[in-house]
A and B are shown apart, each in its own frame.
Chain A
Protein backbone atom coordinates (compact mmCIF):
# COMPACT_ATOMS: atom_id res chain seq x y z
CA UNK A 1 0.00 0.00 0.00
CA UNK A 2 1.13 3.50 -0.71
CA UNK A 3 1.75 6.05 2.01
CA UNK A 4 3.13 9.54 2.46
CA UNK A 5 4.90 11.07 5.42
CA UNK A 6 5.30 14.81 5.72
CA UNK A 7 7.87 15.79 8.30
CA UNK A 8 6.74 18.78 10.31
CA UNK A 9 3.10 19.69 10.67
CA UNK A 10 4.09 23.36 10.95
CA UNK A 11 7.00 25.19 9.32
CA UNK A 12 7.79 28.84 9.95
CA UNK A 13 10.17 30.89 7.79
CA UNK A 14 10.97 34.54 7.39
CA UNK A 15 10.00 36.38 4.26
CA UNK A 16 12.80 35.95 1.72
CA UNK A 17 14.14 32.79 3.34
CA UNK A 18 14.35 29.34 1.80
CA UNK A 19 11.25 27.19 2.05
CA UNK A 20 11.79 23.44 2.48
CA UNK A 21 8.84 21.14 3.05
CA UNK A 22 9.71 17.48 3.41
CA UNK A 23 7.87 14.53 1.95
CA UNK A 24 8.76 10.85 1.96
CA UNK A 25 6.67 8.23 0.26
CA UNK A 26 6.23 4.52 0.13
CA UNK A 27 5.15 2.79 -3.06
CA UNK A 28 5.61 -0.68 -4.50
CA UNK A 29 5.67 0.62 -8.06
CA UNK A 30 7.14 3.73 -9.67
CA UNK A 31 4.95 6.44 -8.20
CA UNK A 32 3.31 9.55 -9.43
CA UNK A 33 4.01 12.33 -6.92
CA UNK A 34 2.20 15.59 -6.35
CA UNK A 35 2.26 18.69 -4.21
CA UNK A 36 -1.00 20.50 -3.60
CA UNK A 37 -1.56 23.78 -1.78
CA UNK A 38 -4.66 24.77 0.13
CA UNK A 39 -5.34 28.38 0.98
CA UNK A 40 -7.92 29.14 3.69
CA UNK A 41 -11.48 28.35 2.60
CA UNK A 42 -10.33 27.15 -0.78
CA UNK A 43 -9.86 23.83 -2.53
CA UNK A 44 -6.67 21.97 -3.32
CA UNK A 45 -4.58 23.54 -6.05
CA UNK A 46 -1.89 21.55 -7.84
CA UNK A 47 1.58 23.07 -7.42
CA UNK A 48 3.54 20.49 -9.35
CA UNK A 49 3.72 16.83 -10.23
CA UNK A 50 6.22 14.17 -11.10
CA UNK A 51 5.22 11.30 -13.36
CA UNK A 52 8.23 10.30 -15.45
CA UNK A 53 11.31 11.96 -16.91
CA UNK A 54 13.24 14.78 -15.32
CA UNK A 55 13.48 14.34 -11.58
CA UNK A 56 13.55 18.06 -10.83
CA UNK A 57 10.12 19.46 -11.52
CA UNK A 58 9.13 23.08 -11.49
CA UNK A 59 5.70 24.26 -10.52
CA UNK A 60 3.70 27.40 -10.08
CA UNK A 61 4.64 30.32 -7.83
CA UNK A 62 8.37 29.54 -7.95
CA UNK A 63 8.15 26.15 -6.24
CA UNK A 64 10.06 23.10 -7.31
CA UNK A 65 10.55 19.56 -6.08
CA UNK A 66 13.06 16.84 -6.71
CA UNK A 67 12.19 13.16 -6.96
CA UNK A 68 14.92 11.10 -5.30
CA UNK A 69 14.18 7.44 -5.73
CA UNK A 70 17.07 6.27 -3.53
CA UNK A 71 15.75 8.38 -0.66
CA UNK A 72 12.05 7.86 -1.49
CA UNK A 73 11.67 11.61 -1.13
CA UNK A 74 9.94 14.43 -2.96
CA UNK A 75 10.77 17.55 -0.99
CA UNK A 76 9.27 20.89 -1.97
CA UNK A 77 11.45 23.99 -2.09
CA UNK A 78 11.27 27.66 -2.93
CA UNK A 79 14.37 29.87 -2.79
CA UNK A 80 12.65 32.92 -1.33
CA UNK A 81 9.43 32.85 0.67
CA UNK A 82 6.72 35.39 0.10
CA UNK A 83 3.93 36.31 2.48
CA UNK A 84 1.43 34.96 -0.02
CA UNK A 85 2.98 31.48 0.32
CA UNK A 86 1.38 31.04 3.73
CA UNK A 87 -0.94 28.07 3.31
CA UNK A 88 -1.19 24.35 3.94
CA UNK A 89 0.79 22.08 1.64
CA UNK A 90 -0.01 18.46 0.91
CA UNK A 91 2.22 15.85 -0.65
CA UNK A 92 0.44 12.99 -2.40
CA UNK A 93 1.36 9.74 -4.14
CA UNK A 94 -0.58 7.66 -6.60
CA UNK A 95 -0.51 4.94 -9.17
CA UNK A 96 -2.54 6.00 -12.15
CA UNK A 97 -4.64 3.14 -13.37
CA UNK A 98 -6.85 3.01 -16.43
CA UNK A 99 -9.87 3.59 -14.21
CA UNK A 100 -8.55 6.67 -12.45
CA UNK A 101 -6.00 8.16 -10.10
CA UNK A 102 -6.44 7.47 -6.40
CA UNK A 103 -4.29 9.92 -4.48
CA UNK A 104 -2.92 9.10 -1.05
CA UNK A 105 -2.20 12.30 0.85
CA UNK A 106 0.18 13.17 3.60
CA UNK A 107 -1.06 14.89 6.73
CA UNK A 108 -0.13 18.32 5.44
CA UNK A 109 2.34 21.01 6.49
CA UNK A 110 1.17 24.48 7.45
CA UNK A 111 3.63 27.07 6.23
CA UNK A 112 3.83 30.34 8.11
CA UNK A 113 5.78 33.25 6.64
CA UNK A 114 6.98 35.92 9.04
CA UNK A 115 7.61 39.49 7.95
Chain B
Protein backbone atom coordinates (compact mmCIF):
# COMPACT_ATOMS: atom_id res chain seq x y z
CA UNK B 1 0.00 0.00 0.00
CA UNK B 2 1.31 3.50 -0.75
CA UNK B 3 2.39 5.49 2.26
CA UNK B 4 3.29 8.96 3.41
CA UNK B 5 6.97 9.28 4.27
CA UNK B 6 8.36 11.74 6.79
CA UNK B 7 11.96 12.68 7.47
CA UNK B 8 13.69 12.90 9.84
CA UNK B 9 12.03 10.68 12.42
CA UNK B 10 13.66 12.69 15.20
CA UNK B 11 14.93 16.26 15.16
CA UNK B 12 16.65 18.05 18.00
CA UNK B 13 17.22 21.77 17.75
CA UNK B 14 18.13 24.74 19.87
CA UNK B 15 15.52 27.35 20.72
CA UNK B 16 15.50 30.10 18.12
CA UNK B 17 16.78 27.92 15.32
CA UNK B 18 14.92 27.21 12.11
CA UNK B 19 13.76 23.69 11.34
CA UNK B 20 12.32 22.13 8.23
CA UNK B 21 10.26 18.98 8.49
CA UNK B 22 9.92 17.02 5.30
CA UNK B 23 7.16 14.86 3.93
CA UNK B 24 6.56 12.92 0.74
CA UNK B 25 2.80 12.53 0.32
CA UNK B 26 1.16 9.78 -1.70
CA UNK B 27 1.72 10.64 -5.33
CA UNK B 28 -1.82 11.03 -6.66
CA UNK B 29 -3.20 12.84 -3.63
CA UNK B 30 -4.41 16.41 -3.91
CA UNK B 31 -4.72 17.53 -0.29
CA UNK B 32 -1.89 17.84 2.18
CA UNK B 33 -1.91 18.48 5.89
CA UNK B 34 0.24 18.98 8.95
CA UNK B 35 -0.91 17.98 12.42
CA UNK B 36 0.98 17.94 15.67
CA UNK B 37 0.70 16.13 18.98
CA UNK B 38 2.28 17.59 22.06
CA UNK B 39 3.14 14.86 24.56
CA UNK B 40 0.03 13.87 26.48
CA UNK B 41 -2.29 16.09 24.44
CA UNK B 42 -4.64 15.74 21.49
CA UNK B 43 -3.58 15.54 17.89
CA UNK B 44 -4.14 19.09 16.61
CA UNK B 45 -4.70 20.37 13.10
CA UNK B 46 -2.14 22.90 11.92
CA UNK B 47 -2.71 23.52 8.22
CA UNK B 48 -4.18 22.14 5.03
CA UNK B 49 -2.80 22.76 1.55
CA UNK B 50 -4.59 22.37 -1.76
CA UNK B 51 -3.94 23.59 -5.26
CA UNK B 52 -0.57 25.03 -4.23
CA UNK B 53 -1.89 27.21 -1.48
CA UNK B 54 -2.96 27.07 2.13
CA UNK B 55 -6.66 26.23 2.26
CA UNK B 56 -7.10 26.41 6.01
CA UNK B 57 -4.93 26.99 9.05
CA UNK B 58 -5.41 26.87 12.79
CA UNK B 59 -4.63 29.51 15.38
CA UNK B 60 -1.46 27.58 16.18
CA UNK B 61 -0.15 28.17 12.65
CA UNK B 62 1.18 31.68 13.19
CA UNK B 63 3.78 33.65 11.25
CA UNK B 64 6.55 31.40 12.54
CA UNK B 65 5.18 28.53 10.48
CA UNK B 66 5.15 28.10 6.73
CA UNK B 67 4.49 25.27 4.30
CA UNK B 68 5.75 24.66 0.84
CA UNK B 69 5.48 22.12 -1.95
CA UNK B 70 8.73 22.97 -3.67
CA UNK B 71 8.98 20.34 -6.36
CA UNK B 72 5.67 18.55 -6.83
CA UNK B 73 6.59 15.63 -4.61
CA UNK B 74 7.80 17.02 -1.28
CA UNK B 75 5.71 18.92 1.25
CA UNK B 76 7.58 20.79 3.95
CA UNK B 77 6.78 22.51 7.22
CA UNK B 78 9.20 25.24 8.29
CA UNK B 79 9.36 26.73 11.75
CA UNK B 80 11.43 29.91 11.53
CA UNK B 81 12.43 30.44 15.14
CA UNK B 82 11.60 27.47 17.31
CA UNK B 83 10.27 27.82 20.82
CA UNK B 84 10.29 25.30 23.64
CA UNK B 85 6.56 24.83 23.23
CA UNK B 86 7.03 23.71 19.62
CA UNK B 87 8.35 20.41 20.95
CA UNK B 88 5.89 17.82 19.66
CA UNK B 89 5.34 14.98 17.22
CA UNK B 90 4.51 16.45 13.83
CA UNK B 91 2.43 14.36 11.45
CA UNK B 92 2.10 14.93 7.74
CA UNK B 93 -0.97 13.56 5.97
CA UNK B 94 -2.35 13.47 2.46
CA UNK B 95 -5.69 12.56 0.93
CA UNK B 96 -7.66 12.27 -2.28
CA UNK B 97 -10.90 12.88 -0.46
CA UNK B 98 -12.06 12.36 3.11
CA UNK B 99 -9.66 9.55 4.03
CA UNK B 100 -6.37 10.87 5.36
CA UNK B 101 -3.18 8.83 5.24
CA UNK B 102 -0.70 9.80 7.93
CA UNK B 103 3.04 9.51 8.04
CA UNK B 104 4.82 8.05 11.05
CA UNK B 105 5.74 11.51 12.30
CA UNK B 106 8.76 13.60 13.17
CA UNK B 107 9.51 14.00 16.86
CA UNK B 108 10.77 17.56 17.29
CA UNK B 109 12.61 18.40 20.50
CA UNK B 110 13.47 22.05 21.14
CA UNK B 111 16.12 22.56 23.81
Chain A contact residues, CB within 8 Å of chain B: 32, 36, 41-46, 49, 51, 90, 92, 94, 96, 99-108
| Total number of residue pairs linking A and B with CB closer than 8 Å | 65
A21 to B103 alpha-carbon distance, docked (Å): 24
With contact pairs A43-B105, A100-B48 given, residues A105 and B97 touching in the complex (Cβ less than 8 Å):
no
Q: How many residues of B contact A (CB 8 A)?
A: 28
Q: Point out the residues of chain B lying under 8 angstroms from A44, CB to CB.
A: 43, 91, 93, 102
> B69-111, CB under 8 A of A: which get 1 and which 0?
0000000000000000000000101010111111111000000
Which of A43, A51, A104 touches B102 (beta carbons < 8 Å)? Answer: A43
The main secondary structure of chain B at its interface with chain A is strand
Q: Is the CB of B99 within 8 A of A49?
A: yes
A100 to B97 alpha-carbon distance, docked (Å): 7
Q: Point out the residues of chain A lying under 8 angstroms from B102, CB to CB.
A: 36, 43-45
Closest-by-CB residue of B relative to A101 is: B98
Chain B contact residues, CB within 8 Å of chain A: 4, 6, 31, 33, 35, 41-45, 48-51, 55-56, 91, 93, 95, 97-105
